[in-house]
Structure 1
């Protein structure tokens, strides 16, 4: 009889493959680094081959370690699929964690929670507002069940094996300017103060490229991840911004909205693990998000 391998060690090896360092694995799972190292060493003894080798101040997976980590990922996916089948027999047993975009927190989340309370009243739903890069990564690791994400024209996000995407819809992007500014085109925003998302985000890169295509370098004086701050500064006459429709939906702040050449839009999608997509809570939440997005888009 073949002795089973240490399940905790397999989980830790899977996490190490995703996160890269023992310190990161220890932090996210609330273990000490020494505990993680001990469990991985025990797994290595059980498997009987070298799984990790030193690289600089860290570790890297050997080819054998990579193969075992992929095996661990398949085991975790099979376990999650079975969990979904059991949940179908006893719905609402496990909590549902959803990572949402900041622009969805005010407009979509209340509608989604209303729908889920009606469809699955015993389901515990946990919402975290987080950047899409973080949400997508943590869906892959299993910390979230669903992530909302965005992609701007020309800035598509990588398709990760094991993740299932579902397009919610397209969110139009327009230039928002102070109501009394007289701005009627993107070129008119030359020389004005801009507010944009932080450097390194897809939204920032796309917005800068639009300004350059219009023949100028934007004067970026303000940065904020919270797009409601963009709306407020624009309405108060302190900046202009390129804003998606969700950022403006239901907001009573006034702004002059100017259509952009080609009527660009960002795509909003949800992602979940393939092994989790059939779970009742995941299915219900994705459906609720789709209905909420369509309702808000139609109202806009």
Structure 2
């Protein structure tokens, strides 16, 4: 019989690509992982890894077993979810949240859980949506709160199930004394945007280009509350989703964008864990927080 823990290591390697990345994710040493994979090769009776420069890669047999490992791990999670239904205690839920959700949804969701499931342990880390979705697929977390900008669909990872929380308006943000009335008025201004490569940056840049100019991005940062402070001080303009302000009075003046765009805010979990009572409770609490205005 295959050892499920070793199968997970093989699956992690197929997802993360290097032994070092697997070691970082699972808090093992690379040598320990190598030893366990060597034992898995003995169990399989075929070579699972082969040299690739200074690294290793999966052989055809290794890739085939890694695909089976993913299904075995999903079955294991489904079995644990069913058992969790049959006992009063709840397993901890590991949650990855994007930054605006950490500000706008997390406090309200924790308030709701304190009332409905006071014994449930929640472990939260702030991750960019791209990273959070990857980590849930790789079993680093149980649930992620992520977003999708208009016209910029995110990859649908195999085995993940999404649930829409709501649609969050995105507006131009300028200082309170700024006279700008539309996007075209900001062609000569300094901009603050999220880092290159993020869906938010790509989307915001496209809005400026559609208005006939290339944005002068002088400030690049992931922290949207920092965006708001820069804009409020008059040093930049930007595009900020409503969720960032968590139902409070914004420190900036907000101006509508053409077409009144909204991003989709959603949760994603692995299908094998979607029915876990703890995961369902967290999803429900996040929905309550969103419906109450976030926050």
Q: What TM-score results when the alignment is normalised by the length of structure 2?
A: 0.96
| Cα distance in 1 between the residues matched to 2:130 and 2:88 | 30
Q: How far does the alpha carbon of each residue in 1:214-244 deviate from its partner, in whole angstroms, 9 at most, with x for none? A: 1111111112211111111111111110111
In structure 1, runs of 5+ residues without a counterpart are: none
Distance 1:92 1:183, change over 3 A: farther
Aligned counterpart in structure 1 of residue 151 of structure 2, from 151, 154, 159: 154
| Cα distance in 2 between the residues matched to 1:110 and 1:249 | 10
Distance 1:168 1:253, change over 3 A: closer
SS in 2 for 1:296: coil
| Cα distance in 2 between the residues matched to 1:6 and 1:256 | 58
* Moved >6 Å (runs of 4+): none
Could you say which residue in structure 1 is the equivalent of 2:226?
Answer: 229
Pairing 1:90–2:62 present: no
Pairing 1:44–2:45 present: no
Distance 1:249 1:93, change over 3 A: closer
In structure 2, runs of 5+ residues without a counterpart are: none
| Cα distance in 2 between the residues matched to 1:96 and 1:249 | 24
Q: What TM-score results when the alignment is normalised by the length of structure 1?
A: 0.94
Could you say which residue in structure 1 is the equivalent of 2:206?
Answer: 209
| Cα distance in 1 between the residues matched to 2:3 and 2:121 | 31
Shift of 1:277: 0.3
Whether the 8 Å CA contact 1:168–1:293 is kept in 2: the answer is yes
Q: How far does the alpha carbon of each residue in 1:115-168 deviate from its partner, in whole angstroms, 9 at most, with x for none? A: 112111111111211111111111112121110111112211110111000011
Could you say which residue in structure 2 is the equivalent of 1:20?
Answer: 17
**How much is the aligned-residue C-alpha RMSD, in angstroms?**
1.4
Shift of 1:253: 4.2
SS in 2 for 1:128: strand
